Amino acid sequence: MGHPGPVRVQIATTQRVVEVGLRTILEAASVPLTVTVATGLEAREPDVVLFDVILMREGDTLDLDLWLKDSGATVIAINRTLRPELGAQARARGVEWSIDLGI
């Protein structure tokens, strides 16, 4: 039995260019998606969170920790080439997968 509806994808970022880029990639997907953008937990839990590690640049991991511990979503870190330590920190905290922003 398949997923009961569109895959709910949350883009967690504060950077509009990242949001637009990821949204453009997702719009080309061959599966139905519902895409939202926010940094914190939403009332309707997504299936997947694309978490921009730049949100942790000041050492704040609260948003990531909320997604990892207080939701059932699969969290995928969006790594930054110039800040590889943020991607490593996200993986150490428990993200399921990570991909490079250059995707």
The tokens for 102 are 């250059």
Model confidence pLDDT, tens digit, residues 85-103: 999 999 999 998 999 988 7
| pTM over cut 0.85 | yes
DSSP letters, 33-86, are: EEEEE-SS--SS--SEEEEEGGGGTTS--HHHHHHHHH---EEEEEE-TT-HHH
pLDDT the model gives residue 51: 95
Model confidence pLDDT, tens digit, residues 43-80: 468 999 999 999 998 888 999 999 999 888 999 999 99
Q: Of the spans 24-28, 29-33, 56-60, 74-78, which averages the highest pLDDT?
A: 74-78
